[in-house]
Amino acid sequence: MSRLSPRLAAAVGALPLRPGHRVLEIGCGSGAAARAVAGLVGPDGHVLGVDRSERAVSRAIASSGELIRVGLLRFACTPVEDLVLPDDTPPFDVAVAIRVGAFDGRHPEVRDTALHRVRAALRPGGRFYIDSPSPGIALQEIVFDT
């Protein structure tokens, strides 16, 4: 994780990851955290990074060739509020969103839809984390009603 900013390194380090986990990163930007997570869950895990910016997704893909080639990592351009996984995509164990407007208060009008989309992408019992507004705490877990 030496190539990550301190904020991203703290967030990745706080995720409860195990080898083989499937992880959804929302707002992946250039893919730095997704690549770090892929290193923690591989070779049997998988990471899908999504971002609304085509430019960011293009940079993420360009910087992730080997991880994509071996099937550990994939990227898609979509806003979280429009996220729908193809029917043949297995659900995710963990989802994480760092500095995503739908969850940090910048775009409250899409929060409910975005939460619904994340919940639909997780397996039963899957866990969702966003960056915490509290100093010294990297992530806050969003718990869905069962």
pLDDT at 86: 87
pLDDT of 107-122, one tens digit each? 999 999 999 999 999 9
Residue with tokens 């994780």: 1
Q: Is the pLDDT of residue 49 over 90?
A: yes
pLDDT at 1: 47
Whether cis (ω within 30° of 0) applies to the bond prior to 43 is: yes
Residue with tokens 């990297």: 138
pLDDT at 126: 97
CA distance 22 to 37: 10
The pLDDT of 82-103, averaged and rounded, is: 94
pLDDT of 3-48, one tens digit each? 899 989 999 999 999 999 999 999 999 999 999 999 999 899 999 9
Name beta bridge partners: 50: 26, 76
The tokens of 68 are what?
């994509």
pLDDT at 135: 82
- Exposed, middle or buried: residue 145 (CB in 10 Å: 0-12, 13-18, 19+)? exposed
The pLDDT of 52-59, averaged and rounded, is: 97
Neighbours of 9 (CB within 10 A): 17
pTM tops 0.85? yes
CA distance 63 to 60: 5
